[in-house]
Amino acid sequence: MTTGICTERVAVVTGAGRGLGRAHALAFAAEGARVVVNDLGVGPDGTGGARGPAQQVVDEIRALGGEAVAHGGDIATADGAASLIATAVDAFGRLDTLVNNAGFLRDRMLVNLDEDDWDAVMRVHLKGHFLPLRHAAAHWRAEAKAGRTPEARVINTSSGAGLLGSVGQGNYAAAKAGIVGLTLVASAEMARYGVQVNAIAPAARTRMTEQTFADTMAAPEDGAFDAMAPQNVSPLVVWLGSSASAGVTGRVFEAEAGRITVMEGWRRGPTADKGARWTPAEAGETALELLAEAESPQPVYGAR
Ligand SMILES: NC(=O)c1ccc[n+]([C@@H]2O[C@H](COP(=O)([O-])OP(=O)(O)OC[C@H]3O[C@@H](n4cnc5c(N)ncnc54)[C@H](O)[C@@H]3O)[C@@H](O)[C@H]2O)c1
């Protein structure tokens, strides 16, 4: 058995058969956690399905002396999410950390974005975060009410696309922005039950990004720091998922290569109050004055 900052804890990681989720699952196990490795084994656009990837990661964790079980359900269904949480409790007797990570892309410019591609991406990311969160939250609330207030942690996966926008990713950006809103609400609602909820916006070389970043994200020659390896994102996730992160909740972190950034979100900027209704002309004049005082937004990814 491995000991570390997650010894005695049980972590569930969705979409952990590949990419970032796999790296997180292995990193939790390396810090002593017992891990439920969820993955539906779908293709890059969400089609198909196979149990192989989840089981392979379980085999890797066991080969390294850790404890893990596979869960092959779809986290965007009520049954899949309920059985995911039940798997942790049945296999290991408890649940401490939920990492919502599973997802896929259907990139299109808005004018070409089909309703199916909108629905599929909103479903896997936004509903696929909500449902496991909801079932985990119900479990932790019951534990708290039974006098066993947990030190529970949820790490949600947003994206720079959701925080700043990204050309060609209207569906994905909307879902990932929604995940930030969900994170803020869950953090506020669940604090009383001992649950902390944060989000990350990662960047790493996975099958999701290897084409987009083919030149800049290639693996380096031997010995150099592999900046875009998904394993570089996991240490922050593991710390957020441990009891060591006590007091940190409702925050969004960008995590990429060797860099961790606190994302500072929407806050009230320049403001004016007439104390009565504006005319449209007045409202426009005032809006322009306020904009002149305000900070400019950071650019949308891919915008010219
Ligand atoms: N790679 C990046 O640079 C990057 C950047 C920003 C955000 N993200 C986010 O990080 C997360 C992980 O992405 P990745 O790059 O590792 O991609 P990936 O394709 O390597 O891994 C995603 C995994 O999720 C699984 N999955 C998809 N739908 C599922 C479902 N309904 N139920 C269970 N499993 C399902 C897939 O089978 C796959 O193994 C995603 O939420 C992604 O949007 C990644």
Res 286: pLDDT: 98
Query: Does the Cβ of 159 fall within 6 Å of ligand 1?
Result: yes
Separation of alpha carbons 170 and 162, rounded Å: 9
Query: Does the Cβ of 20 fall within 6 Å of ligand 1?
Result: yes
Residue 214 has pLDDT above 80, yes or no: no
Read off the DSSP letter of residue 110: G
Mean pLDDT of 238-248: 98
Ligand 1 center to 15 CA (angstroms): 6
The closest of 44, 45, 46, 10 to 28, measured between CA atoms, is 10
pTM summary value = 0.97
Query: Does the Cβ of 208 fall within 6 Å of ligand 1?
Result: yes
Burial class (CB in 10 A: 0-12, 13-18, 19+), 99: buried
Query: Does the Cβ of 234 fall within 6 Å of ligand 1?
Result: no
Active centre residues (catalytic):
159, 172, 176
N residues, the chain: 304
Ligand 1 center to 192 CA (angstroms): 30
Ligand 1 center to 18 CA (angstroms): 8
Res 205: pLDDT: 97
Separation of alpha carbons 68 and 71, rounded Å: 10
C-alpha distances in angstroms, 292 versus 190, 267, 281, 285?
A: 39, 17, 17, 11
Res 219: pLDDT: 80
Residue 228 has pLDDT above 70, yes or no: yes
Contact between residue 37 and residue 13 where contact means Cβ atoms under 8 Å apart: yes
Separation of alpha carbons 103 and 132, rounded Å: 13
Closest atom, ligand 1, to C-alpha of 17? 39
Q: How confident is the model at residue 221 (pLDDT cuts 50, 70, 90)?
A: confident
Query: Does the Cβ of 43 fall within 6 Å of ligand 1?
Result: no
Closest atom, ligand 1, to C-alpha of 76? 31
Residue 1 has pLDDT above 80, yes or no: no
Query: Does the Cβ of 209 fall within 6 Å of ligand 1?
Result: yes
Amino acid (1-letter code) at residue 231: Q
Residue-averaged pLDDT of the chain: 96
Closest atom, ligand 1, to C-alpha of 49? 37
| pLDDT tens digits, 97-156 | 999 999 999 999 999 999 999 999 999 999 999 999 999 999 999 999 999 999 999 999
Ligand 1 center to 231 CA (angstroms): 14
